[in-house]
Amino acid sequence: MHVLRVQRLNQLHRRAYVILVAALMGPEELRALTALQSRFLGAKANFIPAHSAKECVDCMLTIAKVTCKPMAGVIQERMKKQQDSTVSDNIVLRVLSNIGLGNHECLVLQDGLHTISRVSQATEEELMDCSLDHHTAQKVINFFDKDCIQI
């Protein structure tokens, strides 16, 4: 039902923002956010997570300011960065968890290298600089050496 509403919103508006409010972004909420982002990847719908009603209102105010000519360029750039980081963070965590790493190791790699591209090209030394042990660093290197997709 909600997916149909997002599809309709996407059809009606040039740019659509969906603010998803959850007090805690636990595994279930992250799965829902990731599923929605995957479903509407490339569409005009943008998903923004918020943790409270205040954050939701702040997001709405920011979106409203985007239409104001003097601030439009600055605010649009800020929102694009926020949106990109949200999508990237979820994708990075998802891919890293598929390697077989624990949650802490995934977060450490994400914090240290930020993108899957940088993780896939990292040397053992760079991975160990992210607080991974030798065995885990080798596991990451081996995963990307034999399981990477050729572009």
Res. 1: pLDDT tops 60: no
Number of H helices and E strands in the chain, helices first, is 8, 2
Question: 3-class SS at 151?
Answer: coil
| Residue 10 backbone dihedrals phi, psi, to 5 degrees | -65, -35
Whether the full predicted model's pTM is greater than 0.85, yes or no, is no
Predicted confidence (pLDDT) per residue in 11-22, tens digit = 777 677 888 888
Contact of 33 with 49, CB cutoff 8 Å: yes
Predicted confidence (pLDDT) per residue in 89-143, tens digit = 677 777 778 888 888 888 888 888 877 778 888 899 999 998 888 998 888 888 8
